[in-house]
Amino acid sequence: MRQTKIILSDKEIPTKWYNIMADMPNKPKPPLHPGTKQPVGPDDLKPIFPMDLILQEVSQERWIDIPEEVLDIYTLWRPSPLFRAHRLEKALGTPAKIYYKYEGVSPAGSHKPNTAIPQAFYNKKAGIKRISTETGAGQWGSSMALAGKLFGLDVTVYMVKVSFGQKPYRRMMMETWGATVHASPSTVTNAGRKFLELDPNSTGSLGIAISEAVEDAATHDDTNYALGSVLNHVCLHQTVIGQEAKKQLEIAGDYPDVVIACCGGGSNFAGIAFPFLHDKLSGKKKDLRAIAVEPTSCPTLTKGEFCYDFGDVAGMTPLMTMYTLGHDFMPSGIHAGGLRYHGDSPLVSQLYHDKIIEARAYGQTKCFEAAVLFAGTESIIPAPESSHALRAAIDEALRAKEEGKQKTILFNLSGHGYLDLQAYADYREGKLFDHEHPEEDIRKALENLPKI
């Protein structure tokens, strides 16, 4: 019988997170205070983050221990399975071997609990009573709601308004786990009210939702802010994905030529790619390719500018060096809400700037075409975000077919799409369209970058 899936035991869950900062030839520039424009210190971050996470954010240590309390909860769904996509390979007629790491087995249906659980743990340890956060498609918000329930924390979620309407069942999931959910921009915060005054019909953005969540945390002593992507400690927590995948591929007697993941803020890409990039940066696997895949409607890496920018629209967060389309960039309301972010992780951005990784952008119709093919061959319906990575994996497999070359492809199926079925209905009914921002609009958004 052919080997289709590779499962690890509970004892093989990674006990340390991998910190790529230790191996990067060039480190990202330090974040700057939004007011003084001076490097941010621990005291500047203490009003919204616990000290344990602040120390992880700046750590240069290669390996950071995972607390036992976090490992205990990880066993609810980790290790996640690695699959060989035999049926997809056959449908494509490719000589390539396609593997996918499936993170949709988590209770929230995506990779996001990998960081939500440790963030809740460290906040609980610090005596925090409530978490405020943002969410795009709802995968992060539902994960934080779950983590809050498990650690006895109240959770308030500012959900991008277009997703609030498109994905009601994700909102219901958050509320089932006890979270309070507001459509963003909301009337709850000063930032939200300001944006509504400027545009009463605003569909929202992750940048606006972040502004609201940060304001909420900064104005309540018992509340901290939690972010589901972008920051170093978030990317760090996700590296359990790639570490497990390496062990599973060793069992299969294989190693990838290319590692692929979708990329919005960067945590999903970091989770699967960083442990493999450790081999590339150490010289063991110099030819390894890693591809971050984004939507053409929010082409941060492929068309953005590498510079300092705010992580939110209101300019309340520290300034970070990243590829950005400008903090007030407003993407179209595509179904892949988790990829509608104006910037990227400073770590991912620096790696792309140094040409260590690649980036690619697709329109959503090509991604849904790939997702439907995948559902018909491998049975799993992918999240719209994950379909971007799938599209790139299929294209790499088709290129191997054209070239007549053997190739091993690994991609991260970062979540399922069972709460995104309206998107599939829209695709079948021909209601989905590709959107590519005109260069002029992108240049206009970049005109408002902070002057450093």
- DSSP-assigned beta bridge partners for residue 63: 18
Q: Which residue has the tokens 């221990």?
A: 65
Give residue 42's pLDDT band: very low, low, confident or very high (50, 70, 90). confident
- The residue count of the chain comes to 452
As a whole number, mean pLDDT of residues 97-105 equals 98
Per-residue model confidence (pLDDT) at position 159: 95
For the stretch 270-298, pLDDT in tens is 999 999 999 999 999 999 999 999 999 88
State phi, psi for 24 to the nearest 5 degrees: -70, 135
- What pLDDT shows up at residue 334? 55
In this predicted structure, what is the pLDDT of residue 35?
87
22, pLDDT greater than 90 = yes
The percent of residues in the chain predicted with pLDDT above 70, rounded, is 98
List the domains of the chain with CATH numbers.
5-10+68-109+238-446 (3.40.50.1100), 32-60+112-232 (3.40.50.1100)
Does pLDDT of 129 surpass 80?
yes
Q: Which residues pair with 157 in a beta bridge?
A: 133, 181
Average pLDDT over residues 158-165: 91
Mean of pLDDT values over 404-431 = 94
Whole-number pLDDT of residue 31: 93
- The pLDDT score that the predictor gives to residue 83 is 98
Are residues 311 and 34 in contact, defined by beta-carbon separation less than 8 angstroms?
no
The model's confidence at residue 250, banded by pLDDT at 50, 70 and 90, is very high
What's the pLDDT tens digit per position in 297-348? Answer: 889 999 999 999 988 877 778 899 999 999 877 766 555 556 778 899 999 9
Q: Residue 88: how many CB atoms within 10 A of its CB? A: 23
Report if pTM > 0.85: yes
Mean pLDDT of the chain: 93
Task: Supply the pLDDT for residue 335.
Answer: 55
Residue 128 pLDDT > 90: yes
The residues near 199 (Cβ < 8 Å, ≥ 6 apart) are none
